Structure 1
Amino acid sequence: MAVNIVLYEPEIPANTGNIGRTCVATGSRLHLIEPLGFRLDEKSLKRAGMDYWKDLDVTTYINFEEFLEKNPGAKIYMATTKAPRLYTDVSYEPDCYIMFGKESAGIPEEILVENQETAIRIPMIGEIRSLNLSNSVAVALYEALRQNQFAGMRLEGKLTRYAWSQGNVSDV
């Protein structure tokens, strides 16, 4: 299963770098809709993505219309603080798209109105404006992966100097 993460006009290179690293770690594809608030060769973008950026499956688009043209029939969930439905209330299909808006303004309301049936939100308390973009991507992405049993992902880890044993740790 490969989830597609879409960033609509991202502004902060460190967020996009972190999201790129998350995409590599999960086998997800990253789609960037221009204009971007940075250049893709910026040092801070690469620093946040660390040495994983070279392994990232990333595509850029001139605008939202080009994105739609090149991904016809895509099931796109719109992550927004304005949605009436929670991100846990939908069933994510394999190869679905989860779109996030720019840090300063989110997804434009004219796009949201046309996609209200797939608009989702992450709950928060009070009048907090939003979570950090890279955190929001991780929350929604891992819910989609969980719903699809983390298909193709490594589900167990191991210690390097010790071994797990009935809940206890012992020397290897």
Structure 2
Amino acid sequence: MIQKPLRVALYEPRIPPNTGNIARTCAAFGLPLDLIEPLGFSLEDRYLKRAGLDYWPHVDITIHKNVDAFFESLAQVSRVIGCSRRGGVPLQDMQFQRGDILLFGREDTGLSEATRSRCTQITTISMPCSAGEDGLGGVRSLNLSVACAIVSHQAGSQLQLW
């Protein structure tokens, strides 16, 4: 894998429009996108293509056959920053480094515990109106594509990529 200042990786994404929107965000920010199989859709899915519009040629996409292949492809100096709704350093306090890979989990289950344990660090977007541990009383999580845009912009801004 070529070392870039910042990358986005999706662990087993399930919803085509989310992945398409994230691809569009990656095109806008010039960030490579790694997709970790199994995917919950075909790369030929019309909803995926529609969400990405005509930006697909501007996205540097790498597909990994599984999470092990993804981690094996990484440069030794790369840090994998797991992005999760729980148990992480608040995004506003996170110190990003050049070469970081922002890893986002599945829409339905997030990052598996096994995958979380392989991350260098976990970061969390603060949500003042979030639900409790029981899932009640507020918003459980942000949409995956929204969370990806927030974290990507914060990391890129901190690294002065734009």
TM class by shorter chain equals 0.7 to 0.9
Question: What's the secondary structure of 2:89's corresponding residue?
Answer: coil
**How far, CA to CA, are the matches of 2:50 and 2:5 in structure 1?**
24
- Pair 1:129-2:140 in alignment: yes
Indicate if the aligned counterparts of 2:130 and 2:141 stay in contact, CA closer than 8 A.
no
Contact 1:2 1:29 in 2 (8 A): no
TM-score by length of 1: 0.82
One-letter amino acid of the structure 2 residue matched with residue 78 of structure 1: G
CA distance in 1, matches of 2:115, 2:44: 29
Match of 1:94 in 2: 98
Deviation beyond 2 Å, 4+ runs, structure 1: none
Percent of pairs with identical residues: 37
For the residues of structure 1 that align with 2:109 and 2:45, how far apart are their CA atoms?
Answer: 23
Note the alpha carbon deviations across 1:92-137, whole angstroms, 9 max, x for none: 112210000000000001222343x511101122312210000000
* SS at structure 2 position matched to 1:112: helix
Structure 2 spans left out of the alignment, 5+ residues:
132-138
2:51 corresponds in structure 1 to 48
Q: Which amino acid aligns with 1:32?
A: L
Q: Select 1:39's aligned residue among 19, 38, 42.
A: 42
Q: Which amino acid aligns with 2:159?
A: N
Q: State the distance in 2 between where 1:84 and 1:8 align.
A: 17
Deviations along 1:35-89, whole A, 9 cap, x unmatched? 0011111111111000001221000001111001111322110001122311221
Give 1:76-155 correspondences, 5 Å limit: 76-115=80-119, 118-124=121-127, 125-127=129-131, 128-149=139-160, 151=161, 153=162
For the residue of structure 2 that corresponds to 1:50, the secondary structure is helix
Counterpart of 1:165?
A: none
1:75 match: 79
SS in structure 1 at match of 2:75: coil
2: distance between equivalents of 1:29 and 1:72?
Answer: 15
C-alpha spacing 1:144/1:84, structure 2 compared with 1 (3 Å): closer
The 3 A distance-change label for structure 1 pair 126 and 69 is closer
Cα separation, 2, equivalents of 1:86 and 1:103: 20
CA contact (8 A) 2:32 2:60 kept: yes
Secondary structure class of the residue paired with 1:146 = helix
SS of structure 2 residue aligned to 1:130: coil
